[in-house]
Structure 1
Amino acid sequence: MSLDTPKFSDLDALYSADSKVATAMYEDPDLFAEEMERIFKRTWVWVAHESEFPDKGSFKLSTVGLEPVIVVRDRKDKIHVMVNRCRHRAATVCEVKKGKTSSFQCPYHGWGYGLDGSLRALPYPEQYGDDFDKAQHGLLKLRAESYNGMVFATFNEDAEPLVDFLGPQVCRYIDLFMKQGGGFPIKVLGEHQFTVPMNWKVQLENTTDGYHFPVVHKSFMQTLDGETNDMFDFLEKGKGWVEDLGNGHSVMVMIPELIDLDDNLDAPIPDRFAELAQELRDDGYPEDQVKKIVRAVGGAGFNLNLFPNVSFSLAFFRVLTPVTVERTDIRHMALGMDGGPAAANRMRLRLHEHFQGPMGFGSPDDAEVWERVQRGTKGGEALPILVNRGLIDEVPGEAGPKGHISAETGMRAAYTMWKRMMAQ
């Protein structure tokens, strides 16, 4: 498909100025194909956290849009992102999700590639003639840049630098989110993946949508002690906000007092963490470090949504991978403290399982409503999908509009960026 002229020239019909989304946005396979080209191949897409491949020669598999990629550290500790496709006959050169290696080899005809993607050797090269140049047949490489351990890649050599795409407000929130290490580096402790029959944008809308929380997550709220329930009753209190951070990114601040986990460390330790605090004391941690670790264990008080495919939610990363117009893979990555106390990481995993885990009280309910949104689009095709909540009292923020905790400001931020990229 040529990208010189957008196929969908009437973008206003898909996302209107009065914040209405057309049903075709979730259902049109041609639109989906163009999104993969105009968005996922042109902007920065999150592919990995550095803790997932910490050593020289370590790697993990990921995706950029529909394209399978390998994220790897070479012997000089440089990070490379390469399309997982042999340059000969297109077979994948790696099928192990993560690990450590000195090279990659195609299983079909034995073409061998270095950690930097260069073609190192191939059987019987004389049959290609004297003018065959191995330097021209390495694995296809993407631009790769990192910010605070988060690795992004793009096919677009002309894309702005990653820090410019993120912007200062996003970088600030990423830095604040990483304080969940409690003085230790953040580490991915594990992940689970599931598939939802929905368009990828249904999930993109969710992370900074506070309006659904007391409805969809009622069962989760009923499992909490009174102190924790009161903390998560952010919609009723209305102290938080949603803010457009530019370039499709947004933040939903649910618990303002937990934006910066280094603030107010002298506050009393919540009852639910009393046993953890005592275990840390028994292990020899001084009181000031105990308070810092315990506060970090509970997670940050905000959700950060980065266009187009990753979000930071309380204490985990959520990554979306488009598969088809009506299928999206979701990965939930539990986060802990690299080198931190075993007791703290154990508690982090229990908290993750309570909400995000496959048997948790949060994510399964989210997945059900995502699927029901997709099913609902089969009826009333001409009816618009509304993302106009909170327009009445939005105020200017540092990078974009800022609205009530239940406002759909984050969705409007994402769709404004979507429209901009689809018009290019």
Structure 2
Amino acid sequence: MCSHDTDTYQPVTFTARPERLVQDDRVDGSMYHDPALFETELERIFYKTWIWVAHESEIRNPGDFKTTKIGRQPVIVVRDKAGKIHVLENRCRHRGATLCEKSKGNATGFTCPYHSWSYALDGKLRALPYPDGYEDILDKSELPLRSLRVDSYAGMVFASFNQDVEPLSDFLGEAKRWIDLFMKQGAGYPIKTQGEHKFTFHGNWKIQLENTTDGYHFPIVHKSWMSSVDEETSEMLSFMTDEKAVTHALGNGHSVMVMVPEHVDLDQDDGTEPLQERFAHITEALSKEMPPEQVRRIVRSLHGAGFNLNLFPNVAMSMAFFRVLHPVSVTETEIRHVALGMEGGPEIANRERLRIHEHFQGPFGFGSPDDAEAWERVQRGSYAGKNVPILVNRGLNREIVADNGDKVSHATDEGGMREAYRTWKRMMSDE
């Protein structure tokens, strides 16, 4: 039962304090469409905390780079000749033009196309044309590309504009254990990215943030996907009444939703779970070259880990892929779905992982298009009923606190959303 009387709920604008916008069991609808609120979110969240920018497999070799954004600000993620990873502002120090527009590649440096100012992989200004006009008025050592603070954990690369941000290990906290478990889907091989696709939906970024650990919607929104897969896969993801399917609020806005409890730790296998018949051709092919236990380990991992891990504010490690969000505007969000595979693993298994990814996450898949439709409906509906809050109260009556401090409830409950909004309120209240 709600802890507040809906009839007395008063809508607020961002002139109100964040604690009025976010309460224990509900949030205000203006959270999805207040432009002033969005601008403040960029400043106090996206430009203040750790933001996921890459997986190390995307920038494996010296000179490898990718371009991305933190909030609205374009950045380059690059590995220098010594192997160190840098995240640099994608902005020439002369007149502000972006240095690189390619999404990824390999380079020996970056040269501005406007006036040919040239920068090294670590951001140092190397050269500029016709330097005689700058004698005694410019020191190249004083004009490197702005470098962000960078750290990584288990191959996940994060960056922050805030040089005084807390250590990444502290920020991730309890989520580190789940990141380690997620990476076990490599079945003894390192995880690698296998390509991506991206799309934009007309909705606020927090609507997608809520979705990743929202098990309540799964059998409803994804009914068409459930009917398109084999019976074994459908049964594996029928977690609505499974008492072992739980959500953990991990602190700092992070949360995890367990959907397939027996696949939480893929190293643990008592040998009783039958391998899916749909993968029989893979089992047969791998058995010609590998021992049975290794074949079993790979085939059990084809669907990825048995959980979705949400890392506040912009990346989810969702079963077998990364979902990355970029806030474009208060009512527009870009989503990237990054498929994962095994670095050096058998090609037949990596191809199968791509086919599984495409079937749900692809632009013609049975999952993501339905999600996007639901997100846009939430956005449109948020403008109606100005005196009606957005509820995030499911499972409050059965939430418990574990020995490690995690708040735990069922996988269909909204504990992950409540965790994200607790952190949102704290960061938005911090002057």
* TM-score where L is the length of structure 1: 0.96
1:70 shift after superposition: 0.2
Equivalent-residue separation in structure 1 for 2:355 and 2:39 (angstroms):
39
**Unaligned stretches of 5+ in structure 1?**
1-6
Which residue in the other structure is 2:187 paired with? Answer: 182
Does 2:6 match 1:15?
no
From 402, 412, 416, give the equivalent of 1:410: 416
Which residue in the other structure is 2:34 paired with? Answer: 28
Q: Secondary structure of 1:330's partner?
A: strand
Which residue in the other structure is 1:117 paired with? Answer: 123
From 399, 406, 414, give the equivalent of 1:400: 406
Equivalent-residue separation in structure 1 for 2:405 and 2:312 (angstroms):
15
Equivalent-residue separation in structure 2 for 1:392 and 1:326 (angstroms):
33
Does 2:336 match 1:334?
no
Which residue in the other structure is 1:4 paired with? Answer: none
Matched AA of 1:133? D
Deviation string, structure 1 residues 309-336 (Cα, Å, up to 9, x no partner): 0001110000000000000000000000
Equivalent-residue separation in structure 2 for 1:34 and 1:196 (angstroms):
21
From 87, 91, 94, give the equivalent of 2:93: 87
Deviation string, structure 1 residues 151-199 (Cα, Å, up to 9, x no partner): 00001111111111001x2111111111111111101001000000000
Equivalent-residue separation in structure 2 for 1:223 and 1:89 (angstroms):
53
Q: Secondary structure of 1:415's partner?
A: helix
From 372, 376, 381, give the equivalent of 1:376: 381
Which residue in the other structure is 2:370 paired with? Answer: 365
Equivalent-residue separation in structure 1 for 2:369 and 2:405 (angstroms):
33
Off by >4 Å, runs of 4+ in structure 1: none
Which residue in the other structure is 2:222 paired with? Answer: 217
Which residue in the other structure is 1:207 paired with? Answer: 212
Deviation string, structure 1 residues 359-403 (Cα, Å, up to 9, x no partner): 111111000000111011121122100001110110003233111
Matched AA of 2:278? R
Equivalent-residue separation in structure 1 for 2:135 and 2:370 (angstroms):
60
Aligned-residue RMSD, C-alpha:
1.1
What is the correspondence of 1:20-419 to structure 2 with a 5 Å cutoff? 20-167=26-173, 169-264=174-269, 266-267=271-272, 268-282=274-288, 284-397=289-402, 398-419=404-425
Matched AA of 1:311? A
Farther-moved stretch of structure 1 (335-344 vs 374-383): 374-383
Farther-moved stretch of structure 1 (356-365 vs 70-79): 356-365
Is this contact kept in 2: 1:242–1:403, CA < 8 A?
yes
Is this contact kept in 1: 2:17–2:429, CA < 8 A?
no
Q: How many residues align?
A: 415
Is this contact kept in 1: 2:150–2:159, CA < 8 A?
yes
Deviation string, structure 1 residues 229-287 (Cα, Å, up to 9, x no partner): 111110133431011001000000111110001111623322122211101113x1121
Equivalent-residue separation in structure 2 for 1:244 and 1:191 (angstroms):
28
Deviation string, structure 1 residues 53-96 (Cα, Å, up to 9, x no partner): 11001100111111110000000000000110101111100011
Equivalent-residue separation in structure 2 for 1:208 and 1:45 (angstroms):
19
Matched AA of 1:312? M
**Unaligned stretches of 5+ in structure 2?**
1-13
Q: Secondary structure of 2:197's partner?
A: strand
1:292 shift after superposition: 1.1
Q: Secondary structure of 2:123's partner?
A: coil
Equivalent-residue separation in structure 1 for 2:111 and 2:40 (angstroms):
32
Matched AA of 1:411? M
Equivalent-residue separation in structure 2 for 1:47 and 1:381 (angstroms):
36
Q: Secondary structure of 1:244's partner?
A: strand
1:8 shift after superposition: 4.7
Farther-moved stretch of structure 1 (295-304 vs 233-242): 233-242
Q: 1:45 to 1:8 in 2, by over 3 A?
A: farther
Is this contact kept in 2: 1:395–1:403, CA < 8 A?
yes
Q: Secondary structure of 2:149's partner?
A: strand
Farther-moved stretch of structure 1 (313-322 vs 218-227): 218-227
Matched AA of 1:107? P
Q: Secondary structure of 1:228's partner?
A: helix
Matched AA of 1:264? D
Equivalent-residue separation in structure 1 for 2:81 and 2:411 (angstroms):
47
Equivalent-residue separation in structure 2 for 1:351 and 1:149 (angstroms):
23
Matched AA of 2:347? A
1:301 shift after superposition: 0.6
Is this contact kept in 2: 1:265–1:295, CA < 8 A?
no
Is this contact kept in 2: 1:248–1:413, CA < 8 A?
yes
